[in-house]
């Protein structure tokens, strides 16, 4: 059994999907875990599964609450735990055009996707830097590399923020041995589209565009360990990203405008 003195991996949004698979990936690699999410029953089930491999702590937190990042860090400190790896994974989407949702829905989204990520990272940086092999893995999205689409207005913008945030953190902390990576998957089998109510719409997309959550998790962990600052899992998405970079902004926006209705509910 690995020693908790080697530091824990804190994974937000660990109750399902990519977050749960990242937890499983780190457990396979012998890294002790702190799992956090809103659904404590899901966290407990995952902890029970992984405790045969590594020490696991669970702390329920709803990152949509402004005080949650500070309370989470206080709970970690009170338990005498040290975080070596931070995985900012918690996230979701708000469907529809910008004014079709109340501002409170957008404010909660921004709290989870931007404010909580930024504050958790700021609060935990001293702990991460204290280890010679500290890591930050920010789960962004291919959407952050593509043009913004019609519907889910803030989603691509928030994911683009994560990518730029990761790039800056990687540069600022390179001399500390702290490695930072933005993981940018495309469509991935998870509960994400059930939560946003777009499962039926998304089911019409070609199966070749869908990624498996465990493959995405492994790609992200491998990338941050390999000191890659931005990683796009899946050869199809790598190809799409490569081709898109050679198109004009006008052409890329035109393609997104013509195809938004296939992937977004306006």
pLDDT value of position 26: 98
pLDDT at 244 over 90: no
64-77 confidence digits (pLDDT tens): 999 999 999 999 99
Is the pLDDT confidence value at 129 over 50? yes
Distance CA 192, CA 93 (A): 8
DSSP the chain: ---GGG-EEEEETTTSHHHHHHHHHHHHTT--EEEEES-HHHHHHHHHHHTTTS-EEEEE--TTSTTHHHHHHHHHHHTT--EEEEEE-------S-GGGS-HHHHHHHHIIIIIHHHHHHHHHHHHHHHSTT-EEEEE--GGGTSPP-SSSTTHHHHHHHHHHHHHHHHHHHGGGT-EEEEE---SBSSSHHHHTT-HHHHTTS-GGG-B-HHHHHHHHHHHHHTT-SEE--SHHHHHHHHHHTTS-HHHHHHHHHHHHHHH---
- The mean of the pLDDT values for the chain is 89
pLDDT in the model for residue 117? 98
- CA 201 vs CA 94, 198, 223: distances in Å: 15, 5, 31
Domains and CATH numbers, the chain: 4-263 (3.40.50.720)
**How many CB atoms are closer than 10 A to CB 80?**
7
- Whether residue 154 contacts residue 106, with contact meaning beta carbons closer than 8 Å, is answered with yes
Q: Are 150 and 97 in contact (CB under 8 A)?
A: yes
Tokens of 77: 């400190």
Residue 11: beta bridge partners?
A: 35, 87
Mean pLDDT of 11-28: 98
Distance CA 242, CA 227 (A): 20
Give pLDDT, residue 199.
Answer: 42
Distance CA 184, CA 127 (A): 25
pLDDT higher than threshold 90 for residue 132: yes
Q: Which of 155, 161, 189, 237 is catalytic?
A: 155
> Residue for token digits 């990203």?
241
Annotated active-site residue 237? The verdict is no
Residue with tokens 């509960």, as numbered in its chain: 191
pLDDT given at position 262: 53
Whole-number percent of the chain with pLDDT over 70: 85
What is the gyration radius of the CA atoms in the chain, in angstroms?
A: 18
Query: What is the average pLDDT across 175-198?
Result: 79
Q: How confident is the model at residue 4 (pLDDT cuts 50, 70, 90)?
A: confident
pLDDT tens per residue, range 202-211: 555 677 788 9
Summarize pLDDT for 103-125 with one digit per residue, the tens.
999 999 999 999 999 999 999 99
User: By C-alpha distance, which of 59, 85, 87 is closest to 73?
Assistant: 59
Strand partners, 183: 139, 231
Q: What is the mean pLDDT of residues 161-171?
A: 98
Contact between 80 and 63 (Cβ < 8 Å) = no
pLDDT at 245 over 80: no
Structure-block tokens of residue 200: 């039926």
């Amino acid at each position: 059994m690995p020693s908790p003195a080697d530091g824990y991996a804190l994974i937000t949004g660990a109750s399902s999907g990519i977050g749960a698979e990242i937890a499983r990936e780190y457990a396979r690699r012998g890294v002790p875990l702190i799992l956090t999410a809103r659904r404590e029953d899901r966290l407990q089930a995952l902890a029970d599964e992984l405790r045969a491999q590594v020490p696991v702590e669970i702390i329920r937190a709803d990152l949509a609450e402004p005080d949650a990042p500070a309370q989470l860090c206080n709970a970690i400190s009170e338990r005498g735990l040290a975080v070596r790896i931070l995985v900012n994974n918690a996230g979701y989407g708000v469907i529809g055009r910008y004014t079709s949702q109340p501002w409170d829905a957008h404010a909660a989204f921004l709290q989870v996707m931007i404010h909580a990520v930024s504050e958790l990272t700021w609060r935990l940086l001293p702990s991460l830097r204290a280890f010679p092999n500290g890591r930050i893995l920010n789960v962004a999205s291919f959407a952050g590399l593509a043009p913004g689409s019609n519907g889910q207005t803030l989603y691509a913008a928030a994911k683009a923020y994560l990518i730029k945030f990761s790039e800056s953190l990687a540069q600022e902390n390179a001399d500390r041995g702290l490695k930072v990576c933005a993981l940018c998957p495309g469509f991935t089998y998870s509960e994400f589209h059930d939560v946003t109510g777009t499962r039926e719409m998304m089911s019409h997309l070609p199966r070749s565009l869908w990624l498996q959550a465990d493959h995405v998790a492994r790609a992200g962990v491998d990338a941050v360990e390999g000191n890659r600052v931005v990683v796009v899992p899946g050869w199809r998405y790598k190809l799409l990203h490569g081709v898109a970079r050679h198109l004009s902004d006008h052409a890329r926006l035109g393609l997104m405008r013509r195809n938004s209705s296939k992937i977004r509910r306006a």
